[in-house]
Amino acid sequence: MKTRTDLFAYFDQLGIAARTWQHEPLFTVEQANALVDSLPGAHIKNLFLKDDAGNFWLVVAEQHAQIELKKLRHAFNVRNLRFADADHLLKYIGVTPGSVTPFGLINDPEHAVRVVIDSSLFEQPIINAHPLENTATTSINIEDFKKFLRSTGHQIMVINFADYGMREF
C-alpha cells in the first residue's frame, strides 16, 4: 500500500501543489470542526460503503451534507448499502477507520472502488482531506483535485445531494 510519503511524491509527479497541517488524530466530522475556521476551503466527509453485490463505493461529500443511505441506494440502483468493514478499507484504499480519504484511490489500481463526489465540492476553490492518515489535513486547489481524480483512472460520478441526481465527471 502507498503511504503518505508516496502520496506526496505522486502529487509532485502530477505537478500538484499541496499544503499539509499536522494535528491530533481526527475520527469524526465533529472532531474536525475545530479546523474549519483555521483552514480555508471545503472540508469533507467520506463514506466507504459496500452493496449486496460486493461492490465498494467511496462517497466524498461536503462535511455538512445530509446523506441518507436509503436515497443513495436508489441513486446507485442497488438493493442494500452499508458501511464496509476495516479490512476492506485497508485492502481497497489503504487506510484505517477515521482516515478515509479520496487520496486513498492511489491504492486501488484495479479500480474496484466506485467513486461518487458531491457536486458542491466542485464549486469550492480548495479541498481539504486526510493524506492517508487522520493525523494531518492536506489542502489542494479544486483543479488539482480534479487532476488527481482523473489520474487514478477511476470512473467518477458526481451527485447532487439536493435531489440525489447523478452524472459522470
**pLDDT tens digits along 15-48:** 999 999 988 776 666 776 666 667 889 999 999 9
Which pLDDT belongs to residue 23?
A: 82
Cell triple for residue 68? 441518507
Which pLDDT belongs to residue 37?
A: 65
Which pLDDT belongs to residue 24?
A: 78
Give domain limits for the chain.
4-27+39-168
Level-2 CATH architecture, domain 4-27+39-168? Alpha-Beta Complex (3.90)
**pLDDT averaged over the chain?**
93
**Residue type at position 110:** E
- Contact present, 44 and 121 (Cβ < 8 Å): yes
Residue 110, classed as helix, strand or coil, is coil
What confidence tens digit (pLDDT) does each residue in 79-97 have? 999 999 999 999 999 999 9
Across 50-58, average pLDDT:
97
What confidence tens digit (pLDDT) does each residue in 95-132 have? 999 999 999 999 999 999 999 999 999 999 999 999 99
Paired residues of 46 in beta bridges: 60
Task: Give, for 94, the enclosing helix (H) or strand (E).
Answer: none
| Of the candidates 104, 120, 148, the residue with the CA atom closest to the CA atom of residue 43 | 120
Across 124-151, average pLDDT:
96
